Amino acid sequence: MSKNKFVKYASFAAALLFAMTAATPANAKAWTPTSGQTLTDGKYMANTAEDTASSQTYSLVYNESRNDAICQTIGEGSCSATDTISGTYVLGVCTSAADSLCIDQVTIFAQGASTPAPASVIRQIKAPVVNVASTSAATIPNGGATTLYRGSVNHAGGAATYAVTAAVNVNFKGGKLTADDYSVAVTPYNEVRGGFVGPAISAGQINDYSQPECAFLEDGICGEVENFSANTRVSVSVRLPRTAYSFLGGRMTNADLAVAKAGTGLKVTVSGNPVSVQQLELALDPANTPAGLGIRKPAAKQTKHFSSLAAINTARAILGNKASGTRTFWQFSNWDGGLVANSLSSTCASTSGIRGLFATDAIVTDGFVPARSGGSMKVNLNGVLNNPDGKADAGSVDVIFDAGFAKCALGKTSGVTVTVGASGKGAGFATSSSKSGSWLKASAKNIKYSSIVAVSVK
């Protein structure tokens, strides 16, 4: 892992990439792509990489003022609150109205339920956390670990248990906290007992033996990843620092977004239905790797990832335009700083502090922040034509814009629309637009992934 902060989104594939063993999601268990260690005949494995959230399930920060030593209690011993400290906070559950950097509420329910009850907290997993000395507790919150919840609807594995991980980059300098680049993921799981080893800090070193089939690990326990059941809806509220330029990227459909003031920061609530994302997997000869996959220096029994728009085109031809598997996801991340400033109009602020959200089930996009171009917001998607059962996939895009930002960037006040090129329109293709409070919403359903799909919002 990065020595002082989580690697933003790019490392997600290593721990949260799975495929389905069959074409019936309601009954199929999620599983990790074939490990390179099981390959024969000198081949290696290449598969797609999910890249929209962090997979770290515990808090870990480093003291940059003291040779990047692991900091377990801020403001105590060799970890002075006035030092420069940075790393990853995994948010715990809010315990009072004044709490910040915490999970406010989780709701997991059957779509259409009239008054869904919030999910109940089971426990926080046993994993490293970051404590704060009492002298600093008024201004710096503790860092936690993945929290387990019980929702009101069972997942495909037959239980109602879900792991919620909300991770954020944090920096402490001179006793002041800043936080940015956050990601939130909800993962269905069932506990499996066995010889598992959970993450721990020992003698100033982090010991972490993550396994991709496990949403979390504890000593003797794996939270084995399952899939969401059909018609499940998820809503998560988190309290975060105030920002003027954030844009969210998500893996969900039928999305809703709400932002409210919470102390000196914001309470961000994202709701949506999980989506099924295609997965691709290839066993290849290291001496004869298709150039279009963009894989460098493979070796026998390794596992390599590919995720560019062009690489999907190359894999499509090899796999006969058919996905190797699918996996259901619900997650969102913020994309901030230079990426947003370069892709959008940096002079257009939002009234809520969040500019909007772009969510899709495509295997890959060229950025979860649509780029402003010629009076529109544009983004490219890619996937393959058919799912593992041979039936054509029906893709989706959901867009939400803050009304103040949309007026400045697009000149729109009453609504925005999504358009897709003719080659991306599958059977039953349809678009919709609406306005909800201060948000302008638009969506496209039944997108056909037969080539790179250009999406425009205007």
Q: DSSP letters of 231-278?
A: TEEEEEEEEEE--SSEEEEEE-EEEEEEEEEETTEEEEEEEEE-EEEE
Q: Are residues 86 and 229 in the same domain?
A: yes
- 246 within domain boundaries: no
Q: From residue 56, how far is each of 10, 15, 191 by CA, in Å? A: 12, 9, 18
The residue range of the domain holding 75 is 60-241
| Residue that terminates a domain, selected from 196, 211, 241 | 241
| Predicted confidence pLDDT, tens digits, the chain (458 residues) | 333 333 332 232 222 222 222 223 333 466 566 666 677 789 999 999 775 566 799 999 999 999 999 999 999 988 998 999 999 999 999 999 889 999 999 999 999 888 899 999 999 999 999 999 998 888 889 999 999 999 999 999 999 999 999 999 999 988 888 888 899 999 999 999 999 999 999 888 999 988 878 999 999 999 999 999 999 999 999 999 887 678 899 999 999 999 999 888 899 999 999 999 999 999 999 999 999 999 999 999 998 999 999 999 999 999 999 999 888 999 999 875 555 555 566 678 788 888 899 999 999 998 888 888 888 899 999 999 999 999 999 999 999 999 998 998 889 889 999 999 999 999 999 999 999 889 999 999 999 999 999 999 99
Q: Are residues 102 and 224 in the same domain?
A: yes
- 384 within domain boundaries: yes
What type of residue sits at position 410?
A: L
- 362 within domain boundaries: yes
| Residue that terminates a domain, selected from 206, 221, 241 | 241
- 153 within domain boundaries: yes
Q: Are residues 77 and 209 in the same domain?
A: yes
Q: What's the total number of domains in the chain? A: 2
Q: Are residues 91 and 228 in the same domain?
A: yes
Nearest to 90 by CA among 158, 142, 135, 38: 142
- 284 within domain boundaries: no
Geometric angle at alpha carbon 355, from 354 and 356, rounded to 5° = 95
Q: What is the pLDDT of residue 244?
A: 66
- 417 within domain boundaries: yes
- 136 within domain boundaries: yes
Q: Are residues 234 and 344 in the same domain?
A: no
Q: From residue 383, how far is each of 199, 394, 423 by CA, in Å? A: 35, 10, 13
Q: Are residues 221 and 363 in the same domain?
A: no
Q: Are residues 340 and 205 in the same domain?
A: no
| Residue that terminates a domain, selected from 212, 241, 270 | 241
